[in-house]
């Protein structure tokens, strides 16, 4: 299928995977996209539109757990009004004590409203159960390279056989093995396998909007003394008081402060 590039270039529209489009065709082998419907949302990395949910896959070991990276993914998908689901993989690579400590930390995300699952490298039954999350949804898998996104997809979609690769011993992260974005029919939904990437930026995030992408901050916003409180330097801040009370995960709050500083100091675009 082709698309009428001249018309779309004038409107500054590039068709994306996931777009709802109108097209006309001469025969079963050749047709043209003539219009693209308005999108509910779109992502740049990976380039995909109209996503219902993002399944954020984070390993707890090889590569090691990064709450900072997890929170970056969450800010990104929250800013696009995409429902996140959190999958934590490779739990069986931890000792019993390590696993207990990790679960105690990560269940915080469940307490603030996120749906989470803990997976092992051999837990085929559990992975099969996860397929219920994909029904009637357009889902995107996202996460750092090497965390197990492609392996999960290979197990829940028989015959898919997407390429996987080993973790780089020198870098502690996986190599990019997924080269493109493709929507895969599964059950009554569609699943995209997306390139893994190890860094995110906040080019599309405005500083004043950052607090609303933290659900546990958003519910306290009206209790702050100042309207538009950024929860960093302002006095009588309900979020900072909740932090003192141990109701907010300190590591997550520290990430928030880091992200705010990163957004504030980014170079302007012209």
Per-residue pLDDT at 173? 41
Q: Are 89 and 117 in contact (CB under 8 A)?
A: no
**What tens digit of pLDDT does each residue of 95-106 get?**
999 999 999 999
If pLDDT is split at 50, 70 and 90, which confidence band does 169 have?
A: very low
Please give the model's pTM, rounded to 2 decimal places. 0.82
Residue 77 assigned ligand-binding role: no
User: Cα–Cα distance between 81 and 52 in angstroms, integer?
Assistant: 9
CATH superfamily of 207-265: Probable gtpase engc; domain 3 (1.10.40.50)
With 0-12 / 13-18 / 19 or more C-beta atoms within 10 angstroms meaning exposed / middle / buried, residue 225 is: exposed
CA dist 136 to 61, 75, 129, 188, Å?
32, 24, 15, 5
Q: Is 89 helix (H, G, I), strand (E, B) or coil?
A: strand
Residue 92 assigned ligand-binding role: yes
Q: Are 93 and 62 in contact (CB under 8 A)?
A: yes
Residue 91 assigned ligand-binding role: yes
Residue 237 assigned ligand-binding role: yes
- Measured between its terminal Cα atoms, the distance across the chain in Å is 35
Residue 6 assigned ligand-binding role: no
Per-residue pLDDT at 12? 74
Residue 58 assigned ligand-binding role: no
Residue 250 assigned ligand-binding role: no
With 0-12 / 13-18 / 19 or more C-beta atoms within 10 angstroms meaning exposed / middle / buried, residue 37 is: exposed
- Give the pair of three-digit tokens for residue 91: 């739990």
Residue 176 assigned ligand-binding role: no
Residue 231 assigned ligand-binding role: yes
**Strand partners of residue 51:** none
Residue 97 assigned ligand-binding role: no
Per-residue pLDDT at 260? 97
Average pLDDT, the chain: 83
User: Cα–Cα distance between 194 and 177 in angstroms, integer?
Assistant: 9
CATH number of 42-193: 3.40.50.300
Q: Are 33 and 2 in contact (CB under 8 A)?
A: yes
Residue 151 assigned ligand-binding role: yes
Whether residue 177 has pLDDT greater than 70: no
- Give the pair of three-digit tokens for residue 251: 């590591």
Q: Helix 250-265 and helix 67-79: axis angle, to 10°? A: 60
User: Cα–Cα distance between 205 and 106 in angstroms, integer?
Assistant: 25
**What tens digit of pLDDT does each residue of 70-128 get?**
999 999 999 999 999 998 988 999 999 999 999 999 999 999 999 998 888 776 666 66
**Strand partners of residue 189:** 186
Residue 145 assigned ligand-binding role: yes
* Segments making up each domain of the chain, as ranges: 2-36, 42-193, 207-265
Q: Are 109 and 116 in contact (CB under 8 A)?
A: yes
Radius of gyration (C-alpha) of the chain in whole angstroms: 20
Whether residue 241 has pLDDT greater than 70: yes
Number of Cβ within 10 Å of residue 25's Cβ equals: 11
Q: Are 220 and 239 in contact (CB under 8 A)?
A: yes
Residue 126 assigned ligand-binding role: no
- Within this chain, domains 42-193 and 207-265 share the same CATH topology: no
């Amino acid at each position: 299928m082709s698309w009428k590039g001249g018309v779309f270039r004038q409107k500054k529209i590039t068709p994306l995977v996931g777009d709802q489009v109108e097209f006309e065709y001469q025969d079963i082998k050749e047709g043209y996209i003539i219009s693209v419907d308005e999108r509910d949302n779109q992502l740049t990395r990976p380039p995909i539109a109209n996503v219902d949910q993002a399944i954020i896959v984070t390993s707890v070991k090889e590569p090691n757990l990064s709450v900072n990276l997890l929170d970056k993914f969450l800010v990104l998908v929250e800013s696009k009004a995409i429902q996140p689901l959190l999958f934590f993989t490779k739990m069986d690579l931890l000792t019993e004590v390590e696993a207990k400590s990790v679960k105690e930390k990560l269940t915080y995300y469940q307490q603030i409203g996120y749906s989470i699952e803990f997976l092992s490298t051999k837990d085929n039954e559990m992975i099969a159960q996860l397929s219920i999350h994909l029904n009637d949804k357009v889902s995107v898998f996202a996460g750092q390279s090497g965390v197990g996104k492609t392996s999960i997809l290979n197990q829940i979609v028989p015959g898919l056989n997407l390429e996987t690769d080993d973790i780089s011993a020198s870098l502690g992260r996986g190599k990019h093995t997924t080269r493109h974005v493709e929507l895969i029919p599964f059950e009554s939904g569609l699943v995209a396998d997306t390139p893994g990437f190890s860094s995110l930026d906040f080019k599309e995030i405005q500083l004043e909007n950052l607090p609303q992408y933290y659900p546990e901050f958003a519910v306290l916003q009206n209790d702050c003394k100042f309207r538009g409180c950024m929860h960093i330097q302002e006095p009588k801040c309900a979020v900072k008081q909740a932090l003192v009370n141990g109701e907010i995960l300190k590591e997550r709050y520290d990430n928030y402060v880091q992200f705010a500083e990163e957004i504030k100091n980014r170079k302007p675009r012209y």
